[in-house]
Each structure stands twice: as C-alpha cells, then as structure tokens.
Amino acid sequence: MPKDIPCCMCFKRCKPNFRRHIPPGVAFKRYVERCVCRDVSSNAMICGACTARVYRSLPIFHQTPVNTNDDEYISQPPKKKTLSSPKTINLNLPAISKSHKSCIVCHKDANQRNHLTNIPQQGTTQAFIVCGIFIHPHSRCCESHIENNYLNENTLALLGTKKSNGWFSRSDITGLLSGVRRMLSTHSGHLNFDVPIFLTNEDYVTLTGFTKQHFDEIVTHLKSLNNSAVRSIRTCLAVFLFKLRSGLSNKLIGVLFHLTYSQIQRIVNSTRNALVEDFVPDNLGFQHISHGDFVQNHTTNIAKSLFQPGENEAIVVADGTYVYIQKSADYKFQRRSYSMHKNRPLVKPMMLVGTDGYILDVLGPYLADGSNNDASITKHMLRANEEASKWFKPGGVFIVDRGFRDAVRFLEDRGFDVKMPFYLQKSCKQHSTEEANLSGLVTKVRWVVESVNGRIQQWKLFDKVVPNTLIPPIGDFVRIICPLINRFKEPLVKTDATSEAHCRAMLAKSKEPNTVKAFLESNNLLNKRTVYQKLEAEDLMDFPKLSMDDVRNITMGVYQLKQAPSYTKEHCVEDGLYELLVFSENPNLIKLKIQSRHCNSRAHSLWIEYDSLSDDPIKGWYCTCKVGSRVVGCCAHIASALWFLGYERFQGESSGAVTISTKSLADAADIPTTDSDTDEEYPEE
C-alpha cells in the first residue's frame, strides 16, 4: 500500500502520479512559504494543482517539465520583468450598483407599466460632475428620470450611493474622462439651455424672464419648430426670449450663444413664426376667450362695485402704448410715424385689458400721425374688426383716459358706458370736488393698463429705440409677449373682503362735499396770511399719531404714499426742521406750503383739519393743486404732510427719500462775484 504523502500547500493526499518536488529556485519556495506561513524544506511534496496555481501567480517563471518519471523539472531562465497595468482598479469613489431589473434612482422594478431605459452617457457624466457619483454605463432607470438625454433636477436630488468605492475597468475610467472633456469643451464658455446643470432657475428668470418650469412649458407648444444639428428648440426659444429681454444686437447674442449672426437671424424669425402659430391663438385675441368667461374670471369685484354694470357685462380698460422707432429714410412713412404728442417717431399698439390686468387683445400697431389717435383707433376697432364687433355687447363699460374724448359719443351711441377722467374747464385752475372724486374712482380701476404697459416695457427691446429692420415684425413681438404675460404672470389685482369694503367707502365719500374748502372760502382764508403763526412740527404735539394703515385708508391708494418721502424731504429746511402755519382762531387747522416737483416757480398750499380726541382724528383736507379738493383719497401733497406729521416723526429710524449727490455735477449759475465784475456791470458816469 502506497505511503500517504500530503501536499505542503493544500495538505491533501497526493497520488503518486501527481506528486511534485519543490522545484529549484528561490521565488517558488518563498511564495509557498508565504502562503503556508511556515518554512518549507526542499524535500517537501506539492500537488500538481498547487504547482499550477503558483506558476500562475509567478508569471516571470515558465517551467517546462523534462523528465516526468523522475519528477524533476528543469527551469528555464526567467524572462525580463515588464510593467503591465491591471484590468481593474479599486478607487475610493462613490458609486451606484449596476442594475437591470430595477431603477437605480427610485428602485422600482421593471414591468409592463414601468419601462426602464439605459442611462445615456450624458446623464452619467452629469451625475459625476454635479453629484460626484459614478453610474455604471449599463445601468437602467425609469424613463421619467431622463430629459433630453440628461437627468432632471429631481433625479439628481434622489441619487443615493450604496457603495463608497468600487472596481473600475479601463473602459469605465476612459469613458468617464472623455465624457467630462466632451461636455466641458462643448458646452462651457457660452449660454446653453440644453444641459440642465449649467443654468439655475434664477438664471432662467434673468435671461428669459420666466422660470425653468415655465420655459419648459413654452417649449411643449412649439410643435411647428424643428430640431436641427445646429440648434435645438430650447436654444431657439432661449435666443428669442433673450433678444426681447435684453434688446442686444444679433452679433452680441451670437457671441453669448456661440452662434453666427445669420444663425441668430434665422432663429429669431423661425421662433417668432412658431409662437404666432402655435402659442398666441390660445392665449390672446377675441377668439381665445368667450365674453362670459372674461366677465366671470377677469372682472374684479372692485370694478363691479364702483361702476355697477349688468351681471353679464364686461368692463374693459383701453389705452395705447408706445414703441419708439428709428427715423426712416422713407419720408412718407417718417411723416406718418411721427407723433406730435411725443415729438419723436413711434408706433402705437392698442391694449384692451381686463380690470385684473388680463390682456384681452392687442390691436395694431398703428401709425402715430393725427389720423391714428386713440379715438380713431377705437372707431376702427369696432367698425373694421369683425371679431371685436361681435365680442363686445351693448351695456359694457369702457374705462379710458382723456385721449378718447372724441370717441365717447361714438361708444355711447353703440350702447356702451364710458368712464373717463374729467377735463379741466377753461379759465379754471382746479377741478370741483365732484369731478375730482369721480376721476378718482376711474383712476382706481384704470391704473392696471398702465401697469400692463410697464410690464411690456420691461422687455428692453420695446424700451429702446427699435431699428427699422424690426418694424415689420414688431406687431408679432408685442402679440407674443402679451400671451406670455397672461399665461405665466400673476394678476395685478386680487380681490378680498378688505378691498370690497374699501370700494364701498369710496362710493360713500364720492357724494360728500369738501368741508375744509367750504370753510376756507366762506372765511376768505385762501389768500390771507396774517391770521397764521409759524410753527415747527416738533412743537405740534397734539397732532394725532397715525399708523401706516390709517394713512393708507386716507389716501385710498399707494401711489401718494410713494411720493410722500420725496415731498417731505424738499419741504424740510436746511437744519432739518419742518415748518408749518397754524390758524390762530382754530388751532386744529394747519397750513403748509409744498414745492411742486415739476416747476420751480410753483408751490401748493394745503390745509389739514384734525381732532386728536376723536375716533376719526383727520377731519378733512384741501390743497390748491388740480385735484386737491377731492375727498375720495387725497393728493400726494396732503399725503406727504399726513405721513410725516402723523407717522414718520414718531419712528425711531427715518425711512427717508432717495438722495442723489450733485458734487460731481457743475452748475453754470454758480458764478462768484468779484469787484471787477461789479465795476463793469455798473460803470461810473
């Protein structure tokens, strides 16, 4: 029976045909000793499997057996050692496990309803740059996580790692580096709206005027605009909106977007046509909203309370805005586009707006000569525009300014109710109390159209002088901006219970007389000066203390309060004191003089009557300005006095007005007088 001889490495019994002596050589024996952690004699036996394992671990030795019967090997001389990189390497890098059966983001299993897709290379590169996470190229995720071959923002926020390191192959590392290089070299250095990682939501608002979510929604409507290898739909829309937002030239925009001048020109034209065809008809015009929906959704309770139309009667605010243009070499067009009112060439779009700021339609743009005033445009709208004549119904209310005076009878003959501020009669310097009150009611609603015009002017292309090359498409530009405002901007007016109560108070006050004005006229105090004594505001301690809500309830608006700090600043004397006059016979009647902000030679006198012991301490007011006799609110001069005397001087810190330093500006009237100048001016006889 053969003797059992174990292998010195695996300690298994070696059959006679598979026994081997430890071959000569230091490397082989040392490797075996490291594996068994003990010394091995030269007479020890090793099995064939362990011998092959040692040879695979020591590639520098290639042993060839010579005499198998004697169990002897003749070792060939070792080859020269060469350096070789491993196929895989272990890196301390956050990674996500590869998975084909479930999504690596939300971990949902793949089924017929939830289809998984391979993550594009752009997405894996994006995850590495933004989150520092390695995603295996063959990983899969839900289709909802991919957007234009990139991972959306929600997906990047949900990415989580399960491994802090992993084995990376050569192709993984080279692919990752090449993807990073390609993305940075292709998309860095210029504006790019196709890659989500390069622009934040604030960047979208600054460059295009809309948030990223709104921008993506606009892209979905551009069905007639095609993607191309040069630019995508997102790039086209971004270029177009940035053109309107900034008003820059095509060359400058081309530098920012890494495009040529001709490419920018084609992009602007194609995007304009696509928006006019796909987006504008659903959000602007008489055809996009019915008369009943407009009355129900875009007529505020404030307007209904003030003007009390029928249940199904629309209230529309109309006004023309201006877009200034270059002087044309076509003399006929130059004459017809020159406005005598503004003394410069322009075109006029006509705005039709709901009382909440919703834009019903934009007409024009029209020329600016005498044949195209606001009244003529209104007549043209109802006579030549078939959609407008069908949409408007008799009994509706038109709220307009004084430029529509020639169209008032035309509108009233067609059954419309026209609300317009009163004109100042000839030889009169001030509106009556009734006229000023009714004009205040109209202004309370009509201001929304001015704010809408201000929203349009925020797009710098319309705020600047438009070049002659853009005059033909300027109407499309305006008709594109208006539906964008309708769709994505908040309403200018929001009705609540407080505003309705405010309107009821305005209607009640509109029928009241101005008691302070009547008292001054009956006692002939408008021109007398001797019955007043000068006083400083610091000495007027019995004047009631008011809160901002109290002042706002008196002014019935915020415009007057915005003017108050500037008027107050100019009324203060050099040492910062606030001077006023007090009526000697009635100490609760004070008088002030406020400098006009428009004319140096004009100052307005105003009177305020108060009773500090009453629940309603401010009893009345009157000012000599054009609208100073109204009691529905007050003028800015009265508001500035009430704001300072009742609120500002009791505050610890002064809000103050804007102060502009004039030290760097010269004044030609500031000429020092010398003796020589005096002798030359008055020579001796």
DSSP string, 505-526: HHHHHTTS--HHHHHHHHTT-S
Given a contact cutoff of 8 angstroms between Cβ atoms, the answer to whether 240 and 268 are in contact is yes
The pLDDT tens digits for 6-55 are 888 887 888 777 788 887 767 788 888 888 777 888 778 888 888 888 87
Q: How many domains does the chain have?
A: 5
In 584-654, beta strands by DSSP E: 589-595, 603-610, 618-623
What pLDDT sits at residue 72?
44
More confident residue, 287 or 668: 287
What percent helix, strand, coil does the chain show, rounded to 5? 40, 15, 40
More confident residue, 9 or 286: 286
Beta-bridged to residue 319, according to DSSP, are 351
Place of tokens 């952690």: 37
459 vs 478: CA distance, rounded Å = 10
Q: How far apart are the first and last CA of the chain?
A: 160
State whether 491 and 525 are in the same domain.
no
What pLDDT sits at residue 251?
93
Residue 68: pLDDT band with limits 50, 70, 90: very low
pLDDT of 615 over the 80 cut: yes
State whether 436 and 548 are in the same domain.
no
378 vs 401: CA distance, rounded Å = 12
What pLDDT sits at residue 222?
93
Average pLDDT over residues 112-125: 83
pLDDT of 685 over the 50 cut: no
The pLDDT tens digits for 495-549 are 776 777 788 888 888 888 999 999 988 888 887 666 777 877 777 888 889 989 8
Report if residue 663 sits inside a domain. no
Question: Percentage of the chain surpassing pLDDT 90?
Answer: 36
- Which of 408-417, 460-469, 564-573, 599-608 is predicted least confidently? 564-573
Contacts of 139 (CB under 8 A, 6+ apart): 96, 98, 99, 104, 118, 119, 124
The alpha carbon of residue 229 and the mean position of all alpha carbons in its chain are separated, in whole angstroms, by: 30
Give the count of beta carbons closer than 10 Å to the beta carbon of residue 325: 22
Question: Percentage of the chain surpassing pLDDT 70?
Answer: 88
State whether 407 and 333 are in the same domain.
yes
pLDDT of 179 over the 80 cut: no
Report if residue 444 sits inside a domain. yes
More confident residue, 2 or 94: 94
Average pLDDT over residues 331-344: 92
State whether 549 and 625 are in the same domain.
yes
pLDDT of 85 over the 70 cut: no
What pLDDT sits at residue 679?
53
303 vs 502: CA distance, rounded Å = 12
197 vs 72: CA distance, rounded Å = 67
What pLDDT sits at residue 77?
53
Task: For residue 655, give both structure tokens.
Answer: 């809000």
What pLDDT sits at residue 662?
64
pLDDT of 66 over the 50 cut: no
The one-letter amino acid code at 163 reads K
Gyration radius of the chain's alpha carbons: 42
What pLDDT sits at residue 131?
80
Beta-bridged to residue 443, according to DSSP, are none
Residue 434 phi/psi, 5° resolution? -65, -45
pLDDT of 258 over the 80 cut: yes
State whether 181 and 216 are in the same domain.
no
Residue 161: pLDDT band with limits 50, 70, 90: low
Residue 75: pLDDT band with limits 50, 70, 90: very low
State whether 478 and 341 are in the same domain.
yes
DSSP class of 490: P
Average pLDDT over residues 290-298: 92
Among residues 74, 101, 117, the one where a domain terminates is 74
654 vs 379: CA distance, rounded Å = 51
Among residues 278, 299, 332, the one where a domain terminates is 278
Task: For residue 631, give both structure tokens.
Answer: 């009691």
Report if residue 664 sits inside a domain. no
Residue 677: pLDDT band with limits 50, 70, 90: low
Report if residue 321 sits inside a domain. yes
388 vs 352: CA distance, rounded Å = 11
What pLDDT sits at residue 463?
87
pLDDT of 636 over the 80 cut: yes
Q: Which domain holds residue 470?
A: 291-495
Give the count of beta carbons closer than 10 Å to the beta carbon of residue 460: 13
pLDDT of 60 over the 60 cut: no
Burial 347-368 (b: 16+ CB within 10 A, else e): bbbbbbbbbbbbbbbbbbbbbb
Task: For residue 123, give both structure tokens.
Answer: 């997405």
128 vs 618: CA distance, rounded Å = 67
3-state secondary structure string across 358-392: CEEEEEEEECCCHHHCHHHHHHHHHHHCHHHHHHC
More confident residue, 362 or 130: 362
More confident residue, 156 or 184: 156
| Alpha helices (H) along 575-616 | none
More confident residue, 159 or 519: 519
pLDDT of 408 over the 90 cut: yes
State whether 210 and 337 are in the same domain.
no
Report whether the peptide linkage leading into residue 137 is cis, meaning its omega lies within 30 degrees of zero: no
Given a contact cutoff of 8 angstroms between Cβ atoms, the answer to whether 59 and 51 are in contact is no
Task: For residue 363, give both structure tokens.
Answer: 């007409």
What pLDDT sits at residue 498?
72
298 vs 398: CA distance, rounded Å = 14
Looking up residue 489, the CATH number of its domain turns out to be 3.30.420
509 vs 183: CA distance, rounded Å = 67
Given a contact cutoff of 8 angstroms between Cβ atoms, the answer to whether 206 and 152 are in contact is no
pLDDT of 239 over the 70 cut: yes
Report if residue 153 sits inside a domain. yes
State whether 390 and 260 are in the same domain.
no
State whether 461 and 517 are in the same domain.
no
What pLDDT sits at residue 71?
45
Task: For residue 43, give both structure tokens.
Answer: 């007479």
pLDDT of 450 over the 90 cut: yes
Given a contact cutoff of 8 angstroms between Cβ atoms, the answer to whether 555 and 545 are in contact is no
Among residues 74, 102, 123, the one where a domain terminates is 74
Residue 243: pLDDT band with limits 50, 70, 90: very high
DSSP class of 87: S
State whether 479 and 334 are in the same domain.
yes
Q: Which of 119-123, 252-256, 493-497 has the highest mean pLDDT?
A: 252-256
What pLDDT sits at residue 62?
47
State whether 409 and 552 are in the same domain.
no
The pLDDT tens digits for 639-657 are 999 998 888 888 866 666 6
Report if residue 593 sits inside a domain. yes
| Chain mean pLDDT for the chain | 83
202 vs 617: CA distance, rounded Å = 47
Report if residue 419 sits inside a domain. yes
The pLDDT tens digits for 458-487 are 999 998 899 999 999 999 999 999 999 999
Question: Which residue, among 132, 150, 130, 149, has the nearest Cα to 94 in the 3D structure?
Answer: 132
Q: Which of 110-114, 572-576, 660-664 has the highest mean pLDDT?
A: 110-114
Average pLDDT over residues 237-241: 95
449 vs 420: CA distance, rounded Å = 14
Residue 370: pLDDT band with limits 50, 70, 90: confident
pTM of the entire predicted model: 0.74
pLDDT of 590 over the 70 cut: yes
The alpha carbon of residue 504 and the mean position of all alpha carbons in its chain are separated, in whole angstroms, by: 35
pLDDT of 64 over the 70 cut: no
Report if residue 247 sits inside a domain. yes
514 vs 507: CA distance, rounded Å = 15
Average pLDDT over residues 419-430: 86
Residue 122: pLDDT band with limits 50, 70, 90: confident
What pLDDT sits at residue 63?
46
State whether 305 and 421 are in the same domain.
yes
Place of tokens 């479930």: 102
